[in-house]
Structure 1
Amino acid sequence: MTIRHYKIKSVVTAFIPLLFIVTEVNAQIGLGVQNPTNPVEIKTDAGKVIIDKTGKVGVLLANPKVAIDLRGGSNGSVAIGNTDKTASQAGAGALRYVASPAIGVKGYLEFSDGTNWVSFYPKGKPRIVVMAKKITQDTYVFESATPSEIGTKSGIVQRRSSYLTNWTEVLDSDSGVPTTNFTPATGEFIAPRDGVYFATFTFALQPSQVNTGGNNQTEAIWEVRSPAGIITQRVKTNNGYASDTGASPNVVPVGSACTVSVYLNKGDKLRPFTWITVGFDGTISQFDISGSGGYNALTIVEQ
């Protein structure tokens, strides 16, 4: 038993230096290649993948020019996946692919500048566009009213805050792809992402006589609410009118418009409403919906 153990130990001891000798002599590794000329050469059905003496990788390419060179054939593409790492964790110069069906471009690349992920959009910056017109008399009284007055009305109630409801949607798009950021029934827009939004809406009432008081005015108002429904901003436009237009048929068109640029956080709600006090006959004023609602329209565009 002792003699056998001694012989095996001798063979192992003799073999270890031989490994070092082989490694030093044959510095190239070839897989499917008998006489590699590069440190690493791998034979594939399409051609060779090599690592040259400078550490560059060439795929189907004998002389790579950059760290990884894929320009050796017509199918020399590279695939990049997503990552949950922050830009700082990934490091400056890292790339990732973001599959985002929520925006019109569907997917895009981002690179890390060491602090933030910076997006590259092949079709330009994603842009929300909403367009709608109003050809109904529907409003919803919600403020400055008694409990019995709150609710859906036909027309605008004097001295009451009223949302403009039941719009006809013309366009609700994210970079050309249809979306549902705007709800025509309520007139409410919900921001799908943080950003600055340009918004404008107009309304006009059926021409009538303005015959009472000196405090005639119409207000077009954009309201911003948080996702929790808290009012964070209101922007108003006030139009005044003469106190007395005289007897019939001296009627005048009455209306207003409001244009804003507002910063919305994701989930914020943007909605138009009106408040009027005009000396018309009666307490409810009707929209002028002639011309297919051309006087009553809204547009929201992401900047």
Structure 2
Amino acid sequence: MANDCLEVNGSCKGQPVLPGFWEIPMYAFFDKLGVNGPHLMDPWLDFPNGEDKADDAATLAYMQDTFTKHYTGNRQPIGLYTHPIHLSTTYPGVNPPQSTIDMINQFLDWAQMQQDVWIVSNEQLLAWVKNPVPLSQLDTVDALKCSTPKVDSSLTMCNGIPVNEENQLMGCTFPDYMFYTCYGCPTDVPTPANPYPPQANTTQARYRLPTNCSTPFWDPVGGVCLCKSTTDCAAMYTDNSLAIGPNGANLTGSKASASASATATTVSKKYQPFNGNGFSAAQALSAGNGVWGATAAVVALGVLAGMNTLL
């Protein structure tokens, strides 16, 4: 909700009331100018410290400084907000400096070296807020697992998986914008007051997702579920989670330690630093208390998760 709570009526003091709707503040980075030098979206495009040009070194410095103040203060999350196109190396006409990409990766490597710091999406953050568990039980949080649905790549079905849904998405054109859906274009633009408008009768009606199936396994064209029940669907996921600690250390489950060190475990695939070389333990800040609710988190938004040029 891009509203100024001090200017727009009905946008603060508990209004509007939208049950089930969560609002997460955008946490700003601050350069040497303090409150006069905030940076929100795409901070690496800004001119830091009142300068007249972008400066990767200065940007990295104030990002680390702001993070450290969160980490050693009240442990608020901190967000990394960006438009992926600004860092794309494959989009025509976009030519981001490699030094900027390297700087962002350097920040991510540095942040992960701090004890009890996790890079998560807002969805994962909310899942933990709704059901907080200590560090030793993080591997029990479903939202933090890397669950991959087991669906035959040769099947044609509009299920959100690119290889399956090719040529199955429907483009819905409205005066203000166009969007794509697997479930049939609606007669009207969906709104909070009318979230499920009826399907337009210009095409074959598509079946809505039933409560006893899961999106990757549901064929909205044929109205068929690949699994027989919610329990059956749950069994059709593979957890591809990896230990994320440096050198294979397990920092995500029962073997995790709240101390500054963690016992290394043998894993088939190990965590790879964003820049490939990582950081030494000497560059880490002091350790936290091992409970995520009291830790700082680098929150990578969904748009950041799409920046595969960085990961």
TM-score of the superposed pair, with normalisation by structure 1: 0.21
Between Structure 1 and Structure 2, the one with more helix by share is 2
Higher strand residue share: 1
The higher-RCO structure (CA 8 Å, 6+ apart) is 2
**Structure ID, larger Rg:** 1
